[in-house]
Amino acid sequence: MTVAIITDGAASLPDERAGIDNVTVVPLRVAIGMVVQEDPTPALAEVLSAHPSTVHTSFPAPSRYLAAINQCRSRVGVVICTVAASLSGSYQAAVHAARRARAPVRVVDTGTAAGGQGLVVLAAARVAETGAALDVVADSAIRCSAQVRLVGTVDTFDRLVASGRVSHLAGWAANQLGVHPVFELRDGRIRELRPAYSQRGAETRMIEYFRASGHPDSALHVSVLHVLAPERAQRILELVVGEQAPVMAYISEFDAAMATHLGPGVVGLAWWREPKVG
């Protein structure tokens, strides 16, 4: 029996990756109006068609984590990899569940989200598949969390303004100027990078940051996430492959709970340069 891996919906893993790597995903909660939907979460189109003021999201309850732990039936233990604790209460909910679990559980704050979180989860899953002990699997997730990078860009500020994350004045000014912000999420902190003034310009910025991370002798793992922008995601992945061939890569959509705050057109690039052994 191997260590089980659990994550939350913020990891935005495509179904085929979670299935292959034996990962259990606990969905984020989404409420449209007064209706809360957890399992399954509402479709992306349904969330985006609703007015942002009517859509509310929250982290999984501790009971959902506890149920997932029990369903894993792993006697050797469980590693839970959550979205950054600075962005969500998911980590604390997982910690509360771990205290009530019968099986040994390690909870890891990945310090990232979306594609970055997904890469951490898959890295831990690969180590677990080797039959490694609980602490070894958890430590692998912690190391990957420290090394993974995530950059992204949004097309407009409309959803961020509607959700209150950006002021109306700042959103209006950015939209009038045609600004495409580029940001990085690392170690639980969101940092603004040099903005661009077109979609292609923003994509170029993202590739520049990827290129600057160096270490071409490492094993590259890549994920590209998007909201209703599959062509852009594919283009970004092709640009990455042109720089260095990855050992693992996937494209996926942002989880509906995250997409409601970001809106259509957002794309994110995450990568992990795994040090080669020997």
Q: What is the CATH number of the domain that holds 221?
A: 3.30.1180.10
Determine the pLDDT at residue 172.
52
Determine the pLDDT at residue 223.
98
Distances, alpha carbon 87 to alpha carbons 34, 103, 129, 258, 275, in Å: 24, 27, 30, 11, 28
Residues 215 and 164 in one domain: yes
The tally of CA atoms less than 13 A away on the side-chain side of residue 186 is: 16
Determine the 3-state secondary structure of 246 from DSSP: coil
Count of CB atoms situated within 10 Å of the CB of 252 = 21
DSSP 8-state secondary structure symbol assigned to residue 108 = E
**DSSP E strands, 44-175:** 55-58, 78-82, 105-109, 149-153
Residues 127 and 48 in one domain: yes
Residues 16 and 88 in one domain: yes
Among 147, 176, 198, the domain boundary falls at 147
Residues 133 and 160 in one domain: no
172 Cβ neighbours under 8 A, 6+ residues apart: 161
Instruction: Note whether 183 and 159 are within 8 A (CB).
Output: no
Q: Which two tokens stand for residue 109?
A: 């704050």
Residues 8 and 132 in one domain: yes
Residues 156 and 142 in one domain: no
Determine the pLDDT at residue 278.
57
Instruction: Note whether 2 and 129 are within 8 A (CB).
Output: yes
Residues 172 and 246 in one domain: yes
- Pick the closest to residue 121 from 94, 102, 159 (CA basis): 94
Instruction: Note whether 94 and 78 are within 8 A (CB).
Output: no
Count of CB atoms situated within 10 Å of the CB of 112 = 28
DSSP bridge pairs for 21: none
Q: Which two tokens stand for residue 204?
A: 């170029």
Distances, alpha carbon 96 to alpha carbons 36, 66, 104, 151, 278, in Å: 22, 9, 13, 31, 40
Per-residue pLDDT 10s for the chain (278 aa) are 799 999 999 999 988 776 667 799 999 988 777 666 666 666 777 777 777 767 777 899 999 999 999 998 777 899 999 999 998 999 999 999 999 999 999 999 999 999 999 999 999 999 999 999 999 999 999 999 999 999 999 876 665 555 555 555 555 556 666 778 888 999 998 888 888 888 899 999 999 999 998 777 789 999 999 999 999 999 999 999 999 999 999 999 999 888 887 778 899 999 999 987 65
Determine the pLDDT at residue 91.
97
Residues 92 and 177 in one domain: no
- C-alpha angle 78-83-87 in degrees, rounded to nearest 5: 145
Residues 111 and 168 in one domain: no
Among 105, 128, 147, the domain boundary falls at 147
- Pick the closest to residue 180 from 221, 232, 230, 222 (CA basis): 232
Determine the pLDDT at residue 35.
63
Rg (CA), the chain: 18
264 φ, ψ (degrees, to nearest 5): -60, 150
In total, the chain counts a number of residues equal to 278
Among 147, 166, 185, the domain boundary falls at 147
Domain of 69, in residue numbers: 4-147
Residues 143 and 204 in one domain: no
Determine the 3-state secondary structure of 150 from DSSP: strand
Pairing of strands 189-196, 105-109: unpaired
Determine the pLDDT at residue 148.
97
Domains contained in the chain, number = 2
Residues 138 and 205 in one domain: no
Determine the pLDDT at residue 138.
98
Q: How far apart are CA 185 and CA 148, in angstroms?
A: 10
Determine the pLDDT at residue 54.
74
CATH number at residue 99: 3.40.50.10170
Residues 12 and 139 in one domain: yes
Determine the pLDDT at residue 82.
98
